[in-house]
Each structure stands twice: as structure tokens, then as C-alpha cells.
Chains A and B, each alone.
Chain A
Amino acid sequence: MHELALMAELRHLAEEAASREGASRIHRLQLRIGSLSGVDADALRSAFAVVMADREPGDGSGSIDTQGSTLELEVVRTVCFCADCQQEFAPSDVIHACPRCGALSTQVLRGRELELVALEVS
């Protein structure tokens, strides 16, 4: 459910960047989400439709047109670090056990991303 709040923040960041670059329309947004970021991809897409794609120009605070824009999601798999083996590994489930030695990792190197990577504007 917090996907709606995150999409509102996405809109804010995207409009700010587009304005800074002198653009008036956003066509495409690239978002990177980690598998541990706590967001659901389908919920994000639904929220994106409400906050960005289906919004009429001039509806809302910004002057940037986002109607018809598309969202590209890049999902980042979790990568942990095993302090015993001094090696990275991709855990096979929610338990971050090293596949070599079985030790539980407490260091997540990747998988918490929640980033606006790039915007296509005009």
C-alpha cells in the first residue's frame, strides 16, 4: 500500500528533474527496485497509473505532462556477503544462508534499491 506514497515521491523527483532540464513532458521512467525493498511490482504499476500515466495535463501541482508515460522496472536480486568465506552469494530464499558454509549473513550488498535511474523527456 505504501507504493502510492512512493509513486507520489517519484512524481516529485521526476518533475523536479524535468523542470531543471527545461523539459515539459515525461515519456518514460526507469526505476530500479531491489527484491528486499519491500515493494510489490504490480502495486507499483497500479500506483504509477494513478499518479503518472492516467493523469490529465494540468491536473496537479506541476506543469510537466506525464500522461501516457511508461514505467520500466528493473528488479535487482539480493546479493549478500559471507564474512566467513569472504565471498558474495545470492541467497536462494528469505534466509540469507551462505551456500558454501551455511553461515547466516548479516550484510546485504544489493537488493534494497529503490531508485529512479533515468527519465526520457522532451
Chain B
Amino acid sequence: MCGTCGCERPHRLIALQQSLLSRNNAQAEHNRAHFQHHGLLALNLLSAPGSGKTALLEQLARLWPQGPVGVIVGDLATDNDARRLQAAGAQALQIRTGDLCHLEAPQVAAAFEQLDITDMTLLVIENVGNLVCPTAFDLGEQLRLAVLSVTEGEDKPLKYPALFQSADAVVINKSDLADAVGFQRQEALANLRSIAPRARVFELSARTGSGLEPLVSWLCQHLPVAEPHGPHP
């Protein structure tokens, strides 16, 4: 008897030190190499539900200067977003996540295989609308873009610091509504700076289209140099 639980065999300890994200991260690295190989800039787009991610992507699909925009959309149940994006000219593919509150790298890899990436240079992975769960999961993106809308309140970055800390850039959306909702711009920017001092900030309105150009230029600067003769990952 082992003396601990009454079983017949001795207990022993196995030391592991293994990350729970190791399988996801390995797939994410593979995705990243794959995107790079095809000359694609991959973006992980994160926000709360209703902050205007899909409207932003509709604008990007119309304004993007280099080939069609590919979008992999994670949503719990419907394919409404994918249909909206296709209407705007994007090649959109919906991942219905069911009860999963975030996307994981293997889902992105499976969806990516179904996309026609001919002439495509920008691939946006629109994550499930959620400011907590998607944060820890690397999908293989080059850039992480968080969207915050003026209707959500100035203290969102303080309430969800992990997500904003992980972002390379933050879009403050619905700027056309800022006055109507009494948005305290300076306070919001100060909060954002204190949480994510390195992130680029773009203030725009996806609905009216104003303020989109600086974001498009910034994304263009991050386009990878394609390696047509390199080994396929």
C-alpha cells in the first residue's frame, strides 16, 4: 500500500515543465513560416463583440492596394460576417467555433488550406469577439491588431490589460460617434499608453472610412518579402 491513497503501487513523480500551449505554439510557428513563404502579411484581429471588426475589414478589403484580402473569420454560430466580407470583395472563410471562445492555430491552418491565395498579400484572422480568451493563443500572425470603439469606454485597456499589452497596434474605431457618446479621447489614449506603450494607435471610423489611410500604409510597411525560391515549410 502506498500510504497516500491506499493503492497497491508506489507513487512516483514525473517532472515535465511543459507549456500547455506548446502544441498550439508549434503549429503557430509553422503557420507563420507558411504565411511568410507565400508573401502574406497575417494579422490577428482582436476585440470585444460589436466594436466594428467586420466593418473595418470591409473597408480594408475595398482599400487594400495589393491583391485580394483573405479573411478567416471565427464566430460562434453564424456565417453572417463571412457573407458581408465576400460582398466587400474579400475572400472570406468562416470557422464556426461552436462553444469555443477563441481561435487556435490548428483551426487557422485547416482554414488556410481552403483559401485561394493567388495574388493575395494580406490575410486577416478575425478572432472570436472576446477580450480575454484569444489573448494567449498565438495563431502564427505577424501582427496583432486590437480594436477598441469609442462606445466601449475609456478604461477598456485597464480592464483587459493582457490583450492590449499583446497588441502591436490598436484601432480606436467609431470616431464619428466620439462626440455623441462623450468619449474622453485624452483619457483613453493615456490609458492605452500606460498599458501598451509600444503599440501604434490609429483613430478612425470604419463606417465613414475616415482615418483608414494611415492604417493601410502601416500594414503595407509590414508586408513580408516573398521567398519564391525558398524551401516550402
Contacts and interface: CB of A to CB of B under 8 A. Distances in A.
B58 interface: no
Given A13-B16, A113-B19, 8 more contacts: A1-B132, A36-B161, A38-B136, A115-B16, A115-B17, A121-B14, A122-B10, A122-B11
B232 interface: no
B9 A122 contact: yes
Interface in A23-65: 23, 25, 27, 31, 36-39
B123 to A, nearest CB: 23
B21 interface: yes
Given A2-B101, A95-B195, A115 B19 contact: yes
B7 interface: yes
A95 B192 CA distance: 10
Per CB-CB distance, the 3 closest pairs between chain A and chain B, nearest first, are: A2-B133, A94-B161, A104-B197
B194 interface: yes
Nearest to A118: B15
B5 A13 contact: no
A23 B12 CA distance: 9
A116 B14 CA distance: 10
Given A25-B7, A114-B20, A116-B20, A1 B14 contact: no
Interface of A: 1-2, 5-6, 9-10, 12-13, 17-18, 21, 23, 25, 27, 31, 36-39, 68, 94-95, 97, 104, 106, 108, 113-122
Given A2-B136, A5-B104, A114-B20, A120 B12 contact: yes
Contacts of B137: 2
A37 B166 CA distance: 11
Given A2-B101, A38-B162, A118 B198 contact: no
A17 B20 CA distance: 13
A94 to B, nearest CB: 4
A36 B132 CA distance: 11
B11 A121 contact: yes
A118 B13 contact: yes
Interface string B97-121: 0001110100000000000000000
B23 interface: yes
Contacts of A17: 14, 16, 18
B204 to A, nearest CB: 25
21 contacts: A2-B137, A5-B102, A13-B22, A18-B14, A23-B14, A27-B5, A36-B165, A38-B162, A68-B5, A95-B161, A95-B194, A97-B194, A104-B194, A108-B165, A115-B20, A116-B19, A117-B17, A119-B14, A120-B12, A120-B13, A122-B2
